[in-house]
A and B are shown apart, each in its own frame.
Chain A
Amino acid sequence: NSKVIQTPRYLVKGQGQKAKMRCIPEKGHPVVFWYQQNKNNEFKFLINFQNQEVLQQIDMTEKRFSAECPSNSPCSLEIQSSEAGDSALYLCASSRDISNERLFFGHGTKLSVL
């Protein structure tokens, strides 16, 4: 059973709506990654955090997503204005350190944008 908890499991939004998903990393893991897995099993790195700080993010994330990992609260990833191409499985992963030798993934949030 995954110790990285993602909610909700499924999310359905209309185009232009906000879509917010949350992730509780494994206890004691300060490093969090978000990945997008599309229907062709192509993975795209979105953003990563160490503690509350953003380490890296791709342009798309910076322009269209809002993400944070506050202390003592779940991490969140929010698409500000959903597009059909955002339909995908969003995976959160956590690790004890940035080298992510042991990277543990949640079950994902499956987003469908109608």
Chain B
Amino acid sequence: QQKVQQSPESLTVSEGAMASLNCTFSDRSSDNFRWYRQHSGKGLEVLVSIFSDGEKEEGSFTAHLNRASLHVFLHIREPQPSDSALYLCAVSMVSGSWQLIFGSGTQLTVMP
């Protein structure tokens, strides 16, 4: 059973300072990784999807996947207060059930 864990649970950064979020997964055969964010009272917004080791950039969001170490990171460049939200990592196996397994999130607060 795939397990997805995120750290830290909460993170506070100053506006403009890089924010780094960590996600670990348990199944090395996973091949589909996404980062979402959820503003309070809203649905999930996909930020970046990554399918192979290395980096993928989407705007101010960069995902870094290292399958060997079972980590996928999200780096947020120059975050703004409007980026304050719950950030969720989700992992699925395309060859499996297509279900997304979510971590429990990192609550990011960006201080002005």
Judge whether B86 and A105 touch: CB under 8 Å. no
CB distance from B37 to the nearest CB of A (A): 11
Judge whether B98 and A100 touch: CB under 8 Å. yes
- Kindly report which residue of chain B lies nearest to residue A107, judged by CB atoms: B43
For chain B, which range describes its interface: under 10, 10 to 19, 20 to 34, or 35 or more residues?
20 to 34
- Kindly report which residue of chain A lies nearest to residue B94, judged by CB atoms: A99
Measured in the bound complex, the distance between the Cα atoms of B92 and A35 in whole Å is: 14
Residue from A35, A48, A106 within 8 A of B98 (CB atoms): A48
Residue from A42, A91, A99 within 8 A of B104 (CB atoms): A42
Measured in the bound complex, the distance between the Cα atoms of B46 and A45 in whole Å is: 17
Judge whether B98 and A104 touch: CB under 8 Å. no
Judge whether A105 and B43 touch: CB under 8 Å. yes
A45-B44 contact given A40-B104, A99-B94, CB 8 Å threshold: no
Which of A4, A43, A48, A106 has the largest number of chain B CB atoms within 10 A?
A43
- Seen from chain B, the residues whose Cβ lies within 8 Å of a Cβ on chain A are 32, 34, 36, 41-46, 49, 86, 88, 90, 92, 94, 97-102, 104-105
> Nearest 3 pairs between A and B by C-beta?
A43-B102, A105-B44, A105-B43
- Seen from chain A, the residues whose Cβ lies within 8 Å of a Cβ on chain B are 2, 4, 6, 33, 35, 40-43, 45, 48, 55-56, 91, 93, 98-108
